[in-house]
Amino acid sequence: MRRESSIIENKGEGHIMKIVVLAGGISTEREISIVSGTQVCKALRSRHHRAILIDVFCGDNRIGEDLKGAFAKDYDVDADAAYIRSFDSKLEKMKSRRSFFGPNVVALCMEADCVFMALHGSNGEDGKIQAVFELMGIAYTGCSYLGSALAMDKDMTKQLFRENGVPTPHGIVLHKGDQVKKASENGVGLPCVVKPACGGSSVGVSIPRTEKAYREAVEDAFSYEDVLIVEQYVSGREFSCGIVDGEAYPVIEIAPLHGFYDYTNKYKAGSTVETCPADISKELSNRIQKASLAAYHALHLNSYGRIDVMMDENENVYCLEANTLPGMTPTSLLPQEAAAIGMDFPALCEKLIEVSLKRGN
């Protein structure tokens, strides 16, 4: 059971909460997580919450064991973001010396009314931290440990999509050390999509169009993980649909100016045109929302998430995967969808906390 909230009452400012915004970590998406966490922390601070930014792995040695003053009213978010980044060059050495949670992290999370999960990738989005928090009665944002784990594993995602009638591209699984057949013989063919089974932000993802490029793509993806997904390439338009508390938000279209929606196009300013609401018919928008909701429920998700969708030239819709902790800057996809229904970024951050606390642990 989660302990009762110790929400700070402050006349004229409503219910003020002590919130740990958990970011950083050791995944390939560490920097994106720090950016998300910084923006979330600033947004919650603008609503007068006592939010603080903490690196889940590096922690904060500057805080005493009594945690006195940790949730101070006056707080410099950018200074703590810089403090977190100061550990970047030391991570490899730190990983060999100690366990995952950094100094004071668990104690601060237990002291907080809620932990806002601004983590992305492994050891953050894969359900492991969520499971620990549930055992300890720590309230946190996002999906439960089960949904997080299922959505992080793209092999499990595709199995559950197929079993629940959610349209998804045909794909196969490759394990490191297995003999890799030619693309023309593996049942998928060319072009195809090669991606790590548990990665995020399109790290290690390639779209090979020749046998040589396919071999290179597999080798590159195996440098990130030991399990890969090779799936049918769907040529067409790409969309995303956020789900918050079981409600589908407006569909957003993602159109990279060059190539596909890879790591660079996701995070380099001006490299992708994002249109929200998407310029499509109401009927097609409803179909994408319906498919996204089906994907959300097939993976046992709750609280919120975001579903990535492709549409081919014949307007067939395919669900690719789910993001249980989507990017959280004001220009990220889910915040853009929220803005389309009149919800600004700070209000969205509060909404995500509200629906997560309603879920409980």
Q: Which two tokens stand for residue 326?
A: 């989507």
Is 145 annotated as catalytic? no
Q: Phi-psi region for residue 93, left (φ > 0), alpha (ψ -120 to 50) or beta?
A: alpha
Q: Could you tell me which of 254, 280, 246, 276 has the C-alpha nearest to residue 337?
A: 276
Please give the span between the terminal C-alpha atoms of the chain, in angstroms, as a whole number.
7
Is 233 annotated as catalytic? no
Where does residue 184 rank: exposed (0-12), middle (13-18), buried (19+ CB within 10 A)? Answer: exposed
Q: In 10 A of CB 63, how many CB atoms?
A: 17
3-state SS track over 256-318: ECCCCCCHHHHHCCCCEEEECCCCCCHHHHHHHHHHHHHHHHHCCCCCEEEEEEEEECCCCEE
C-alpha to C-alpha distance for 356 and 327, rounded to whole angstroms: 17
Q: Could you tell me which of 99, 178, 139 has the C-alpha nearest to residue 5?
A: 139
From 249, 267, 296, 304, the catalytic residue? 267
Beta strands in 26-181, from DSSP E residues, in sequence order: 50-55, 114-117, 171-175
Is 327 annotated as catalytic? yes
From 204, 306, 332, 356, the catalytic residue? 306
Contacts of 4 (CB under 8 A, 6+ apart): none
Asked whether the beta carbons of 59 and 26 are under 8 A apart, the reply is no
Is 165 annotated as catalytic? no
Radius of gyration of the chain (CA): 21
- The DSSP call for residue 250 is P
Residue with tokens 């995020």, as numbered in its chain: 200
Is 199 annotated as catalytic? no
From 240, 302, 323, 332, the catalytic residue? 323
Is 271 annotated as catalytic? no
From 144, 201, 332, 356, the catalytic residue? 201
C-alpha to C-alpha distance for 149 and 152, rounded to whole angstroms: 5
Is 323 annotated as catalytic? yes
Is 45 annotated as catalytic? no
From 321, 332, 350, 356, the catalytic residue? 321
From 102, 134, 327, 356, the catalytic residue? 327
From 24, 25, 29, 59, the catalytic residue? 29
Residues annotated as part of the active site: 29, 201, 267, 306, 308, 321, 323, 327
